[in-house]
Amino acid sequence: MLLVGPPCGSSRILVEFKPVGQVTIRKLDHAGRQVAIYPGQVLWRREGAVVLRTIWDRPSLDLGFVVLEAGDLWTEHHFTEQWYNIFEICASDGRLKGWYCNITRPARITAGSVEAEDLALDLWVGLDGAMQVLDEDEFAVLPLSPQECQAAQDALAKLKAMVSQKVPPFDKRCGDA
């Protein structure tokens, strides 16, 4: 059994999830080459989407706007019909750090795996809702079709709108009761 929530600093009632299985997550680059592979626990799934719990098990990494630390708890949202994924990042003590959003081609989700091709463009969302677009220079030089470039830009715009409107999972903020 896995207890989820608050956990990231809100006063919400705990929601109890029974993990429904393990999957292997494969992060791929724009050309489909594997960049990272790691395990995840399925919290829930529905047609076209899966939400996973993963744990940062690497050395600390200071990105300048957040420090990722061993034991950080990640809630990963992956979609088969969206050009993004959303990672809610909490410290090991449950304190929300923020959200890291990757612009990706739509995920491939099977019973045992989740694969997403990362298109370099990212969005960091801080606890106050402030947004920072990352790696625009890397995205600009990728050999993508005009349709893929447009889909990626549309996905970024959609994520920004979701943050501004506090659409879950972006509905938690510092100071929220």
For 86-138, write each residue's pLDDT tens digit.
999 999 999 999 999 999 999 999 999 999 999 999 999 999 999 999 999 99
Cβ atoms of residues 44 and 18 within 8 Å: no
User: Do β-strands 113-125 and 131-134 pair in parallel, antiparallel, or remain unpaired?
Assistant: antiparallel
- pTM of the model as a whole: 0.87
Topology of domain 2-164, CATH: FomD barrel-like fold (2.40.380)
Buried b or exposed e, range 92-115, using 16+ CB within 10 angstroms = eeeebbbbbbbbbbbbebeeeebb
With residues binned 3-state (H G I as helix, E B as strand, rest as coil), the percentages for the chain, rounded to 5, are: 15, 45, 40
Q: State yes or no: pLDDT of 64 exceeds 70.
A: yes
